[in-house]
Amino acid sequence: MPEPLNAENLRRAPKVLLHDHLDGGLRPRTVLELADEAGYRSLPADDAGELGLWFRQAADSGSLVRYLETFAHTVAVMQRPDAVHRVARECALYLAADGVVYAEVRMAPELLTEGGMPIEAAVEALLDGYAQGMTEAAAAGTPITVGTLLCAMRQNDRWDEVADLVVRYRDAGVVGFDLAGPEDGFPPDRIPSAIALLDRAGAHRTIHAGEAAGTESIRAALDGAHAERLGHGVRIADEVAEDGELGPVARRVRDAQVALEVAPSSNVQTGAYPSLAKHPVDRLHRLGFAVTLNTDNRLMSGVSLTSEFAEVATTFGWTWDDVQTVTDRALAASFASEREKARLLGDVVRPGYARLRA
């Protein structure tokens, strides 16, 4: 008999996470302790429970100003290499304990330089922190591989610098490039030299698109930035008719199996959809799009990858077949080496689901 598809068993299931922001996933206690060390006095609460609740309520408020304020606090306490190292280490350990066996975690290193830290020092602190977390997770019997995605902020002009860092550190754990920040008004080919640098180096990239803006942002990400995956991408559903007929961009994305890094709780929180039941994640999955499930910002949304799978499975009646299909897709779309993908699929993912379905 297969194991029941519940939160406890989903936590044991080997999972793959492609869209997780480091500055959106700190532990409330870590925020408090780092703020104390840095002399940062602007936090809205001085108790871990109250602070965690404030982050979730501010992100749920429907106010973009309050939502962005949450990141102002987390970034403010991450302005030193030791703070970045700690947050990265704790991220790896947290995800491993949640049953994630491969994760790509993203951060904009330029946001970590406001206190004077050199951007290279920020990247190295990220890599060293993840490496230590991976070592400790393996020793605890919950091995995880964490790859680093470096984001350039669309509205800023440091794309070339970030693209160069992606290439320079790709043998040290950086697996790809991302564009984050406001989609409207800042097209993904605004600084063509950065895209050309990535193209010449054969560097991977995933681009935020199809979250706040519609399918035209998705087309621009594919054509302008040569995106291999779409961060969120859910607005592709705007081109899916009631009868399942697909518009040109939707057909292109489905036929090319461009992975959609879907984060349902985050999409509901930011108002893209009124509820999970109204979210297109299941519809896109059933139509054969390369849907993957993701956390986006664990602190602000109060979620884990386990809870995302549990909520979606409960809402839409998913089975272990659906969970494994989404996991297989995420691993295939990851920027891990082909050798690492084969190892994880054969030694970890397939045996893990076989045990749950036995």
> Which of the residues are catalytic?
211
Chain position carrying tokens 């959809």: 273
Chain position carrying tokens 């999972």: 15
142-177 in b/e form (b: 16+ CB < 10 A) is bebbbbbbbbbbbeeebbeebbbbbbebbeebbbbb
Sheet holding 291-293, edge to edge: 15-21, 100-107, 145-153, 174-180, 205-209, 229-232, 259-262, 291-293
Q: Which of 198, 232, 196, 190 is nearest to 215 (CA)?
A: 232
The span from the CA of 351 to the CA of 349, in Å, is 6
Q: What is the CA radius of gyration of the chain?
A: 19
Q: What residues have CB less than 8 Å from 121, skipping those under 6 apart?
A: 81
Q: How far is CA 298 from CA 86, 162, 265, 313, in A?
A: 17, 24, 10, 19
One DSSP character per residue, 339-354 reads HHHHHHIIIIIHHHHH
The span from the CA of 292 to the CA of 20, in Å, is 12
The span from the CA of 254 to the CA of 259, in Å, is 9
Token pair recorded at residue 210: 């199809």
The span from the CA of 214 to the CA of 218, in Å, is 7
